[in-house]
Structure 1
């Protein structure tokens, strides 16, 4: 899989984002901030 060098969310990054929301109970805004992306991303 070719990943753009500026891509902030790879498959693993999206997986981590979801785990933070589902398992840790973070709000979407908090999980996005922890991942270094905007909520819209």
Structure 2
């Protein structure tokens, strides 16, 4: 998927991340490719 962050953050390929909404984890994954 392609996402747009609301705030800048340092990321690198292979970084694990979690997507949270309302204090609940709704998704997780690994950064595969940096596009910009």
Q: TM-score, normalised by structure 1?
A: 0.23
Structure richer in helix, relative to its length: 1
Structure richer in strand, relative to its length: 2
Question: Of the two structures, which has the highest relative contact order with CA contacts closer than 8 Å and spacing of 6 or more?
Answer: 2
Q: TM-score, normalised by structure 2?
A: 0.23
